[in-house]
């Protein structure tokens, strides 16, 4: 036994059983232990029989061996020594030979006492490997390894494909399961396809539906089976399958254009999930009940022209598409109609209105007879007019059941031509073939006139604007004024309509004037037009009138004469200034002073010349005031007591126009007293008080005199009560 230490104790002889000699019958003890270990055990052994001669050892023996679940393409190694029973204490295990005696696609090899078994492709489910093993020279044993194997499944067979030719885009694939499942149940099948597209799909069983294929393209399919080991080989390709479906309805049928007896028809590509469209079929159903027409158009064309149609009939037009499967449904129908040019409308009847003497316009009633449309129903009639052979202009557009219209034209001597056309539902217009005419002449339109006086020269300017002459032009324009002036312009022609004509009169009175203007077109006069204007001349200068002086103020006054226009401003400069319409102004502030101003007036005629005015203020009345000054009442020697006190003299002056020299005198009436006098200088507007004093009993009166360069004044006062 490998790894076991054995020792046999024999009481009778000193040899162990493994020395090549067979022992005689005896009793012994077998001691058993594990190599490298310390634990041992003993077994009582009784040897029966034998001789004292040594006997040979028995041969080695192989126990049964097995390898389970060896998968295809894999190898497994088996240590045969573990299955070798040898009586030798140290057997030398070695595989001498091996061979696969049962099974397919299985191989075996050895190295020493190691056996390696390899499973090839699609191995048999079981196999037997026979081998010979030795434990020493000349010693061998035979045995076998039983192997169970697992392989990939075989290829499915009988693969068929059936394309969906109704809904399209898919195919139904069927197959027969492989007879060889590799010893493991098949878990899934995989369908692979190529052709219009490629792909794969896992399926649990046959049959299996493949979606998402391209219609109108060929496909082949192969199938593989998969078990726990792996996926087997693909099957042989299926038959060719070609899924397809019919095209959808053709919509968007439109009339691209139309002509006389023909329609150009276009349509949209249908929703086509199937094979390519090979052709389109157009169906035209006439509204008059006649036989329907069918027209085939090869794809990929998306339009065609159909001829030989009746312009007076409508057609319901629809289309269908064809492919490999067949025809799809018709789409929505569209109503269409071919069209030609309507016949010319007959010459219209013209009925002009009244040509009044002052009418700029006159009405014209137009009527005509119906025509046929030669296509879709008429949309309208159009009335055209041209003047003097010029370009045609649209006058009116009427409904198809209206055959009258009214126009207005200028009464200007022109010839007017009229023609009527018809437009059908295809916007085709009949020719302008039948024309009728008339000529309009009348009294000239009233002229307009305006009068102005642009310059202060007592003349007027007339601006005459001429309206419609109601003829080919004007021959003259005449004017007169209320003051008897007159004139003629444009005599012999040359007057331009709409352009102002300017007339300048001669000198006129500066009174309101009325002008009358008459225009003549060579056969009649217009009604008169009038305008009023007031001529004017230069602005007269102001005239002085009633200047006055009051104190220190001078008030200047003047008159404002006019010459056809009112005064609208006055300017004053000099000692006083101002503006605005006025006839007076004041200046001053000083006595005995001369003040001078200049005045001029303004009107539409401009500024007048300056008028100069001067005036001088008088001297003022001087003011001299005398009053009591200081009071003294305790000088009996001067007769100054409380009952009759004495006072000093106080003087105040104004309006002396400068400094003044002053004096006073008080004559004594009491014996023994002399006259009291004093003199001094003082400023105008100041007050002076003397240093002396006296009483009114001795000096009943006081006279004060003040004299300046221009003024002088004396005042005598009662001294008791000045």
Full DSSP string of 109-162: EEETTEEEEEE-SS--SEEEEEEEEEEETTEEEEEEEEEEEE------EEEEEE
**Per-residue pLDDT tens for 323-371?**
999 999 999 999 999 999 999 999 999 998 866 666 778 899 999 999 9
| Region 255-336: CATH code | 2.60.40.10
* Cα gap 144→62, rounded to integer Å: 8
Query: What pLDDT is stored for residue 37 in this prediction?
Result: 54
| Mean pLDDT along residues 561-589 | 94
In terms of C-beta density within 10 A (0-12 exposed, 13-18 middle, 19 or more buried), how is residue 533 classed? buried
Q: Which residues are CB-contacts of 312 (< 8 A; sequence separation ≥ 6)?
A: 373, 374, 375
| Mean pLDDT along residues 84-96 | 92
Q: State which CATH number among 2.60.40.10, 2.130.10.10, 3.40.960.10, 1.10.3430.10 fits the domain covering 157-226.
A: 2.60.40.10
**Per-residue pLDDT tens for 142-152?**
999 999 999 99
For residues 363 and 352, the answer to whether their CB atoms sit within 8 Å is: yes
Q: How confident is the model at residue 9 (pLDDT cuts 50, 70, 90)?
A: very low
Query: What pLDDT is stored for residue 357 in this prediction?
Result: 66
CATH class for domain 61-150? mainly beta
Q: Determine what percent of the chain is predicted with pLDDT higher than 90.
A: 71
Query: What pLDDT is stored for residue 186 in this prediction?
Result: 95
**The tokens 């009229």 sit on which residue?**
418
For residues 460 and 453, the answer to whether their CB atoms sit within 8 Å is: yes
**Per-residue pLDDT tens for 60-83?**
999 999 999 999 999 999 999 999
For residues 474 and 497, the answer to whether their CB atoms sit within 8 Å is: yes
Point out the least confidently predicted range of 21-25, 339-343, 383-387. Answer: 21-25
Query: What pLDDT is stored for residue 360 in this prediction?
Result: 77
Q: How confident is the model at residue 262 (pLDDT cuts 50, 70, 90)?
A: very high
* Torsion angle defined by CA atoms of residues 427, 432, 434 and 439, in that order, rounded to the nearest 10 degrees: 120
Q: How confident is the model at residue 248 (pLDDT cuts 50, 70, 90)?
A: very high
**Per-residue pLDDT tens for 659-669?**
999 999 999 98
* Cα gap 249→202, rounded to integer Å: 36
- Phi/psi of residue 132, nearest 5 degrees: -120, 130
**Per-residue pLDDT tens for 441-478?**
888 888 999 999 888 998 999 999 988 888 888 888 99
**Per-residue pLDDT tens for 162-177?**
999 988 999 999 999 9
The tokens describing 242, both together, are 């070609």
Q: Other CB atoms closer than 10 Å to residue 492's CB: what's the count?
A: 8
CATH class for domain 349-439? mainly beta
**pLDDT at residue 315 greater than cutoff 60:** yes
**Which architecture does CATH list for 623-718?**
Sandwich (2.60)
For residues 128 and 145, the answer to whether their CB atoms sit within 8 Å is: yes
**pLDDT at residue 494 greater than cutoff 80:** no
| Mean pLDDT along residues 101-123 | 94
The H or E element that residue 503 is part of is strand 501-504
Query: What pLDDT is stored for residue 31 in this prediction?
Result: 63
Distance of CA 182 to the CA centre of its chain: 73
Query: What pLDDT is stored for residue 4 in this prediction?
Result: 46
* Cα gap 114→402, rounded to integer Å: 119
Q: Residue ranges of the domains in the chain? A: 4-47, 61-150, 157-226, 255-336, 349-439, 448-533, 543-616, 623-718
* Cα gap 73→261, rounded to integer Å: 82
279-310 exposure pattern, b = at least 16 Cβ within 10 A, e = fewer: ebbbbbbeeeeeeeeebebeeeebebebeebe
* Cα gap 317→327, rounded to integer Å: 17
Mean pLDDT of the chain: 89
**Per-residue pLDDT tens for 182-194?**
999 999 999 999 9
Q: Are strands 94-102 and 61-62 parallel, antiparallel or unpaired?
A: unpaired
| Mean pLDDT along residues 601-618 | 94
**pLDDT at residue 44 greater than cutoff 80:** no
Considering Cα of 655, then 661, then 667, then 672, what sign does the dihedral take?
positive
* Cα gap 327→279, rounded to integer Å: 9
**Which architecture does CATH list for 543-616?**
Sandwich (2.60)
Q: Other CB atoms closer than 10 Å to residue 318's CB: what's the count?
A: 20
| Region 448-533: CATH code | 2.60.40
For residues 261 and 295, the answer to whether their CB atoms sit within 8 Å is: no
Q: Determine what percent of the chain is predicted with pLDDT higher than 70.
A: 91
**pLDDT at residue 27 greater than cutoff 60:** no
Q: Which residues are CB-contacts of 114 (< 8 A; sequence separation ≥ 6)?
A: 77, 78, 79, 80, 95
**pLDDT at residue 158 greater than cutoff 60:** yes
* Cα gap 164→171, rounded to integer Å: 5
The tokens describing 701, both together, are 């009166």
């Amino acid at each position: 036994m490998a790894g076991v230490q054995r020792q046999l104790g024999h009481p009778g002889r000193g040899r162990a059983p493994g020395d090549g000699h067979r022992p005689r019958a005896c009793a012994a003890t077998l001691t058993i232990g594990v190599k490298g270990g310390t634990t041992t055990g003993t077994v009582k052994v009784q040897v029966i029989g034998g001789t004292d001669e040594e006997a040979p050892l028995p041969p080695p023996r192989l126990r049964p061996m097995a390898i389970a679940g060896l998968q295809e393409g894999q190898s497994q190694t088996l240590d045969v020594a573990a299955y070798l029973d040898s009586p030798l204490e140290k057997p030398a295990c070695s595989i001498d030979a091996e061979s696969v005696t049962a099974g397919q696609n299985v191989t075996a090899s050895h190295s020493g006492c190691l056996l390696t078994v390899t499973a090839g492709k699609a191995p048999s489910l079981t196999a037997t490997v026979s081998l010979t093993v030795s434990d020493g020279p000349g010693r061998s044993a035979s045995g076998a390894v039983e192997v169970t194997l697992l392989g990939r499944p075989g290829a499915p067979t009988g693969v068929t494909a059936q394309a969906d030719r109704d809904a399209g885009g898919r195919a139904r694939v069927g197959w027969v399961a492989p007879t060889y499942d590799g010893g493991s149940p098949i878990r899934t099948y995989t369908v692979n396809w190529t052709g219009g597209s490629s792909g794969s799909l896992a399926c649990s069983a046959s049959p299996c539906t493949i979606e998402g294929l391209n219609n109108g393209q060929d496909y082949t399919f192969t199938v593989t089976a998969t078990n726990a080991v792996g996926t087997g080989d693909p099957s042989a390709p299926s038959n060719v399958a070609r899924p397809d479906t019919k095209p959808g309805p053709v919509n968007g049928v439109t009339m691209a254009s139309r002509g006389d007896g023909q329609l150009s028809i276009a349509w949209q590509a249908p929703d086509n999930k199937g094979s390519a469209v090979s052709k389109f079929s157009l169906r035209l159903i006439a509204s008059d009940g006649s036989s329907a027409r069918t027209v085939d158009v090869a794809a990929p064309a998306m339009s065609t022209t159909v001829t030989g149609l009746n312009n007076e009939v409508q057609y319901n037009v629809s289309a269908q598409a064809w492919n490999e499967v067949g025809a799809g449904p018709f789409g929505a129908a569209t109503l269409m109609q071919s069209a030609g040019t309507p016949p010319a409308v007959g010459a219209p009847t013209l009925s002009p209105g009244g040509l009044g003497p002052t009418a700029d316009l006159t009405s014209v009633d137009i009527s005509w007879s119906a025509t046929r449309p030669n296509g879709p129903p008429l949309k309208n009639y159009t009335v055209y007019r041209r003047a003097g052979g010029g370009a045609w202009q649209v006058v009116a557009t009427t409904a198809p059941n209206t055959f009258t219209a009214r126009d207005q034209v200028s009464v200007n001597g022109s010839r007017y031509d009229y023609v009527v056309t018809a437009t059908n539902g295809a916007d085709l217009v009949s020719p302008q073939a039948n024309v009728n005419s008339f000529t309009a002449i009348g009294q000239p339109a009233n002229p307009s006139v305006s009068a102005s006086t642009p310059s202060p020269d007592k003349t007027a300017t007339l601006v005459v604007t001429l309206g419609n002459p109601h003829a080919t032009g004007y021959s003259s324009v005449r004017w007169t004024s209320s003051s008897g002036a007159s004139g003629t312009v444009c005599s012999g022609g040359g007057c331009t309509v709409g352009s102002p004509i300017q007339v300048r009169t001669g000198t006129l009175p500066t009174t309101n004037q009325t002008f009358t203007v008459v225009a003549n077109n060579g056969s009649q006069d217009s009604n008169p037009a009038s305008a009023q204007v007031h001529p004017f001349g230069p602005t007269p200068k102001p005239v002085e009138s009633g200047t006055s002086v009051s104190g220190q103020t001078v008030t200047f006054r003047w008159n404002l004469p006019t010459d056809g226009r009112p005064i609208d401003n006055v300017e004053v400069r000099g000692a006083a200034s101002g503006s605005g319409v006025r006839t007076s102004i004041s200046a001053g502030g000083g006595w005995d002073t001369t003040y001078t101003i200049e005045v001029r007036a303004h009107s539409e005629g401009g500024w007048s010349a300056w008028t100069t005015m001067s005036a001088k203020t008088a001297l003022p009345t001087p003011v001299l005031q005398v009053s009591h000054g200081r009071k003294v009442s305790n000088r009996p020697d001067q007769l100054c007591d409380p009952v009759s006190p004495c006072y000093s003299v106080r003087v105040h002056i104004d309006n002396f126009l400068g400094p003044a020299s002053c004096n006073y005198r008080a004559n004594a009436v009491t014996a023994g007293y002399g006259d009291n006098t004093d003199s001094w200088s003082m400023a105008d507007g100041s007050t002076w008080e003397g240093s002396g004093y006296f009483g009114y009993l001795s000096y009943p009166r006081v006279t004060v005199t003040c004299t300046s360069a221009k003024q002088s004044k004396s005042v005598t006062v009662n001294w008791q009560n000045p």
